[in-house]
Amino acid sequence: MLELPEAVVMADQITRTLQGKRIVRAIANQSPHKFAWYTGDPADYNERLAGKVVGGATAYAGHVEIQVEDKALVLSTSMRYYPAGAKLPPKHQLLLEFDDGSAFVATVQMWGCMFCIGEGEKAGFADYETGKRHPSPLTDAFDRAYFDSLFNENTGKLSAKAFLATEQRIPGLGNGVLQDILWTARIHPKRKMADLSSDEIDAMYAAVKSVLKAMAAQGGRDVEKDLFGQPGGYVTILSKNTVGTPCPACGEGIQKEPYLGGAIYYCPGCQQL
């Protein structure tokens, strides 16, 4: 599954690499996966896509929408491009072969969608539809007034992690990118929103904007891979790569613990609970 910065990078790479290529064959669900989702019967994907030319791609939250003439592919999983002659992986959930011998492969690790929708159709996937309706944090439309509109009478009961990364309040902002955002704002993931000062709310908003922008501008995070299988250029401060290492700000060891169905990473010195 993708988060916003990697989806933006992937959409740009797909546009620059695949645009203009004609699909000669599409294979969906060759390697069935319990949490791989399609629209309709994946056996029909070849009939729907073969012979069509790939257009541009756009990121919506943690999804990449690829235009294929009168169809759109919506994907939220690992994607790779293979030049002509390259060895393809034996297992995949979606394979597109192009007229120049190159190929595009999507594979699911935890979960992921590979929807093929026609004009006027809806994917019926809440995260994707929400991402299309709401402004991206990477745009000017996601301003402080919009951020403040996300608050309601129940917000104070939520932890900082729950507020930012659940219920699709900010589509595409998930548990992965959350860690560096909260470190930058110097807020512990478990802090209750009601306990945050106005200065800390200011810092949270600023970090959402600046950290996501930096991640996207630098090619995604170093814990994720791009269309060509290369890790992103943004070096994560808090991630699986940095557990136990000294915090670059204060020197305390980076901690990891389970929380709200996933792991949280934090610096006990900079992000006090």
Domain spanning 4-133: CATH superfamily: MutM-like, N-terminal (3.20.190.10)
Q: Which parts of the chain sit beneath pLDDT 70? A: 123-126
pLDDT at 271: 98
pLDDT at 190: 98
User: CA nearest 135: which of 170, 164, 167?
Assistant: 170
- 144-266: CATH, from 3.40.50.720, 1.10.8.50, 3.30.70.920, 2.120.10.70: 1.10.8.50
- Stretch(es) of the chain classified as CATH 1.10.8.50: 144-266
- Stretch(es) of the chain classified as CATH 3.20.190.10: 4-133
pLDDT at 124: 66
For 24, phi then psi, to 5°, come to -100, -25
3-state DSSP helix/strand/coil percent for the chain, to nearest 5? Answer: 30, 25, 45
pLDDT in tens, 58-104: 999 999 999 999 999 999 999 999 999 999 999 999 999 999 999 99
For 90, phi then psi, to 5°, come to -70, -25
- Quick one: tokens of 36? 């791989």
The CA-to-CA distance between both ends of the chain, in Å, stands at 30
Residues in the chain: 273
pLDDT at 123: 67
DSSP state of 112: E
Q: How far apart are CA 24 and CA 102, in angstroms?
A: 10
| Residues whose CB is less than 8 angstroms from the CB of residue 57 and which lie 6 or more positions away in sequence, other chains included | 10, 11, 12, 14, 15, 18, 64, 65, 66, 67
pLDDT at 167: 87
